[in-house]
Structure 1
Amino acid sequence: MPDGIYERDVLSWSQHQADLLRRLARGERVNDVDWEHVVEEIEDVGLSELHSVESYFDLMLVHLLKLHGWPNSQSVQHWRMELGSFQKNAARRFTPSMRQRIDLTKLYRDALEQLDGVYCDSLAPRPWPIECPFALDDLLTKPRAVLEGLLNTPLPPA
């Protein structure tokens, strides 16, 4: 393949590399495998999946905070519907190795930051818990009503 094809046409590059790797797996001798970029792309696939799940958790946390902050908003049902969708997508894409890589405390702080200074229906939100009241398994498996309830439960003293 011509030099620089990875930068110019990653689709063509990936198809060519996949062909080379299949031939290599069949025992053929091939010399054109772009190992540096193949390794990089394999790593990127895993990171992309991790970031996808983190994004769903971020959306879940923002929606849970909205539900808590503005419980009488006309948008409540919409937020609840989206929350369910985000939870299903997160659970579908979550893998056990992600558990050690997801920083739920940081994601919660980020969600609080996204809503900082936001008003809904011209109202300031009810106060949110400063610390994340959720565990990873809560977000993956608990029903929406339970998750909403966790935001209303006072945290035990530290």
Structure 2
Amino acid sequence: MAYLACPDLNYSNRPVRTRMPGGVAGERPIRAVPYADPNFLRRAWSNRIMGTLYDDDIIAWSEQQAALLRAGQWSQLDIDNIAEEIEDVGHREKKELRSRLIVLLAHLLKWRFQASHRGPSWVHSISTQRVAIDDALEDCPSLQTLLDDPQWLATAYRRAVRDAQAQTQLKVFPTELPWRMEQVLSPDFWPG
């Protein structure tokens, strides 16, 4: 049986008689249960359970971790996965903002360059994306820095152009964002 790697493990060097292939008796050392740290097995078992729970049921894992945090049981926390989840929250928020902005820009491009196809569904989609972006900025004000970043906006705009071209088969869209971000997000802006 293999044990988790730990630098302070003590193994027994007591030889054990074994029968080797071909009938020759031999000796091999066996590993005893680690006893240098009396809490080793409890921690190893706890980490194994938490790792499995994290992989199998993220909701149960998150509830368990929240309870451990509130109880101040710091040594039992699944620190690596907690850190990963915290980082993922930021990534998800940024990804959602980018996705909503791409949809908004693609619809504004179609609105501007395919006026004959304007309809209530486009109005609804544009309005929905604007409200969702406004909500995201209200919930996470630090996302505003992305909307102020010319490189980030250029990337989002290129993707919006690609989507608008795929949906309309038109190749008339400007290569650079033709509007200021204040216009794009304004509920009164409808490019004509």
- TM-score, length of structure 1 as denominator length: 0.76
Q: Pick from 77, 89, 101: which aligns with 2:132?
A: 89
| Superposition deviation, residue 126 in structure 1 | 7.4
Distance change in 2, residues 1:117/1:18 (3 Å) = closer
What pairs up with 1:43-62 in 2 under 5 angstroms? 43-62=87-106
Write the distance in 2 (CA, Å) between the matches of 1:5 and 1:117.
42
- Indicate how the Cα distance of structure 1 residues 23 and 141 shifts in structure 2: closer, same or farther if over 3 A, else same: farther
Q: Which residue of 2 aligns with 1:65?
A: 109
Please provide the CA RMSD for this pair. 2.1
Q: Give 1 or 2 for the bigger CA radius of gyration.
A: 2
2 CA distance for matches of 1:84 and 1:42? 30
Query: Deviation per CA, 1:98-154, whole angstroms, max 9, x where unpaired?
Result: 2333511111111111233543xxxx5472222102333333335232xx14xxxxx
Mapped to 2, the partners of 1:126 and 1:37 lie a distance apart of 46
Count of paired positions: 138
Alignment gaps of 5+ in structure 1: 150-158
Measure the CA separation in 2 of the matches of 1:85 and 1:20: 39
For the residues of structure 2 that align with 1:116 and 1:30, how far apart are their CA atoms? Answer: 53
Amino acid at match of 2:180: A
Structure with the higher strand share, 1 or 2: 2
Q: How does 1:1-158 map to 2 (within 5 A)?
A: 1=46, 2=49, 3-24=51-72, 29-73=73-117, 75-94=118-137, 95-102=140-147, 103-119=152-168, 125=170, 127-141=172-186, 143-145=188-190, 148-149=191-192
- Of structures 1 and 2, the one scoring higher in RCO (CA 8 A, sep 6+) is 1
Provide the rounded CA distance (Å) in 1 between the counterparts of 2:186 and 2:91. 23
Deviation at 1:88, TM superposition (A): 0.6
Distance 1:6 1:30, change over 3 A: same
8 Å contact kept, 1:104–1:136: no
% identical aligned pairs? 26
Equivalent residue number for residue 153 of structure 1: none
The TM-score normalised by the length of structure 2 is 0.64
Distance in 2, Cα, partners of 1:144 & 1:126: 23
Unaligned runs of 5+ in 2: 1-45
Q: Partner amino acid for 2:105?
A: L
Deviations 1:69-88 (A, max 9, x none): 21011x43321221011101
